[in-house]
Structure 1
Amino acid sequence: MNDRENTTVIDQLVPNAVDGDVIPAVQLELSLDEPQLTYRPKFPLPDEINQLPRDQTVCQYCGVSYLVLSEIKQLEERIEKQSSELIDLLAQTQIKDEQIAVVELENKNLNKQLQEIQKTDSSIYQIRNDRDNLRCQVDDLSAAVETAGATEKRCMHELTETRGRLDLAGVQADALRHSLIRIRSKCIHILCDSNVMNEITKIRSYLDKIRVHLELKDDAVTMHKAGLECRLRDAEEECATLEHEKQCMEEHYARNESRMVEKRRQWSEEQGTLKGDVKSTHAFGYSHNSVVRENRVNDVIALILN
């Protein structure tokens, strides 16, 4: 068997690989539920075949066993059959695609027509809305005209009433003018009277005296307040000074007390219990004098505050 003869089908399919015909055929072949090429044989080869020389069982061109070549031949036949089926399927698919394209084109045309119809409907709806709006505007204008007419009538009536009130007000103004003239003449007559002028002068002088007295009272109160504030500040300063002196005396007393205690302890250790008692008596006398001085300071502070 010649390898070139066995590869004629593949050579015919390879040029169509650019169009994508071989790849679907191979994929279709792999999807079939048939025995694969890589399987273990059920029975071993006969001894006659095993004893044949290699040049009788193997192709001299490609080196492939004749058994494998027969399988390849069967596969090529199946590939040719499936390729023809695939070509038919591709043709049917192309027809279906053309039909789908026609249907899609019809759908596009229908969609365009539907959009045009919708636009027309929207235009009609807009025209109806505009018509309704115009009707509402006409009704509003009619109502406004009627309201304006009623307002004009009411204004004319109010104008007539206002004219009447103005005429009455003019009469009343003339009467008030005459009354003011009479009152003015009476005031001038009263002012010309000497007794009235004397009373007015007395009242003015009395008011001036009261004003001067109030000013003097205000000045006196202000000065008294300033004096009290000054005395209060002095008292506060004196209290602060006495408080500071008291604190210093207490600190001094505490220091002396601590020194006296320490000295008493030392003297008790050195001179005995008797001398320690004498020193304790002196310390008590000093403490009593400090208490007396503190009481005097407190009395002075209380007197200043009162």
Structure 2
Amino acid sequence: MTDEIDLAFAHPEARAAAMAAGAPLPPDRISLRDHVVMADIGAFGTERGQKQRLRFDIAVDLAPCVSDAGDDVDRILSYDRLTEAVADALAERRLDLLETLAEAVAARILAQPQAGRVYLRIEKLDRGPGALGVAIVRARATGAAPAPAPTEAAAPRPVLAVFDSAALGAADLARRLDALAATGGAVLIAVTLPDGLPVAPDPVAQARIDLLGLEQNAWALAARDARLSVVASRTEMDWAIRQGAMVVWAPGKLVLDAPDAPQGPVDPGRLAAWLAARIGATMIVLHGTVAIPADCRVTVTRA
């Protein structure tokens, strides 16, 4: 196994030299190296209550289905999933052994459908003159479904706010954002359509124009406050929610990719209600003149 671990993090030339002539090509692989975090871990009394540095090296062989993911971040195994596996395993409970931590991290990574095999090395950097560590290799059985993820705390639920065009340019924008930030969790902001968009005779073309208009307003809003950034993919959105961030939604990608997205003319209120249900929003806060469908099951309030 030591050879497998060494090769997992070796230069591609070393991996190529180790392949037998005529052997099938190895799977694609992503890696995270020299990821150092502080943690309270260890079986000795002197280690309890004393955070120490842990260094993680992780490589993941990708399942074949990932090879046709194209350039779509929502269809690949994101590097964020590797760092989050480490953070979640450490947050679950205090551990005595690196071996137990390694198993927990590997299990979380293998719960992702794109992961086929995990190479993992964890080292303590502060317990002696050198690095003390453990290395494991774990793989999903051939043909097996992704393993269920270890039990974790419920995913955080954000607040969804909707700003109309007047609210985007309001003089008290900072105060409005302060009030949203005071809710204590992540905030996603959706916007309405700007005035003066071109009118197309074809409904498909008009929908694309309207989605672009929403994205223009999203970028215009984000430019007004340094706390805001724009998210387009579900991966970016999920990461922002886990970080408790405040972001503005550019809806084009998600609406065009999701088969259950509202169809027909672009209606910002319908899109907001759909997104709120999708992300499990705790409530929708309306800023300005925005109409939410009556069948929306998320609590709606006006600022």
Q: Give the TM-score, by structure 1 length.
A: 0.16
Answer 1 or 2: higher relative contact order, Cα 8 Å, separation at least 6. 2
Q: Which of these two proteins has the greater Rg computed from alpha carbons?
A: 1
Higher strand share: 2
Q: Give the TM-score, by structure 2 length.
A: 0.16
